[in-house]
Amino acid sequence: MTLRLALLTCTIMALVGCAASANKGADFADTGATMAMPTASSTGISDTSPSTELVVPIWYHVDGTLVLSSGSVEAYGSSFTVEYLDVEESVTCVASYDIELVVDAEVPDPSIDIYGWWSLDLVEVNGCDDGYHTPFQTLTLGFGAWDQLLAPAAAAAGVDESRVYGLYLQPGLDDTVWVFGVASTPAHSDGTIEPTETISDGVYELKGLHLLPLAG
C-alpha cells in the first residue's frame, strides 16, 4: 500500500502563497512517490475534428458534503462537486453527484490511520456537455488522522489542523491511497468537539486542498 500526497499544487480554491505549489513534480522521499506533470502525449485528447473530439480532463478537484450516522454515510443529504481541469489547471467543467449506494468498506491498509472508509456509488445530477469525459461512477474515500503532508496547503487555506480530519481517497484499483483534503462539521470547526478515532454523527464539509490526477 502506498500513501501519497495528492499533486503538490494549490487548488483553485486555495489562497495565494501555497508553499506546496513549488513542489509540483517533486520526488517525495517520505512517501516514495514520484509525481510528474502529464505531457501532451498523455492528455488523451483525440486527433479527430473539433466536432467529434472527446474532451478528457487531466486533473480533478473534489469538494462535498457527507452526512454520517452511526459511522456510516447516509445517501440522503450527501453530495459531491467535482471540478475537472485541463493540463494548465484551468477549470473546464463542473459536475455534481448524489450518492446512490453506500458500502462500508474495509480500510485498505491498517498502517494508515483511517477511521472510516466507504465505497460510494454516484449518480450524476448536473454534468458536462456532450462529448466531455466525466469518469466518476464510484468514489472510495474516508476520514482519518491529520497528516502533515497537508500542512502547507491547509495553512494557505486557513484550515486549523486540530479541528479537522484528514480526507483520504483510493482513486483506482491499485493500492494507492491519497491524502488530499480535510473534513469537519460545524461543531469541529468551532471547537465544540474534537476529531477522534470515533467519528461523530453530523453533516461533514469536505474540502479538497489538492488537485488529483486522472488516469491517462
Q: How far apart are CA 68 and CA 185, in angstroms?
A: 10
**Mean pLDDT of the region 143-152:** 96
Identify how many contiguous H helices and E strands the chain contains and give both numbers.
2, 13
Indicate whether this model's pTM tops 0.95. Answer: no
Q: Name the phi and psi angles at 182, rounded to 5.
A: -135, 160
Q: State residue 202's pLDDT score.
A: 96
Q: pLDDT at position 28, please?
A: 29
pLDDT band at 46 (very low <50, low <70, confident <90, very high): very low
Residue that is written with C-alpha cell 459531491 in the block: 80
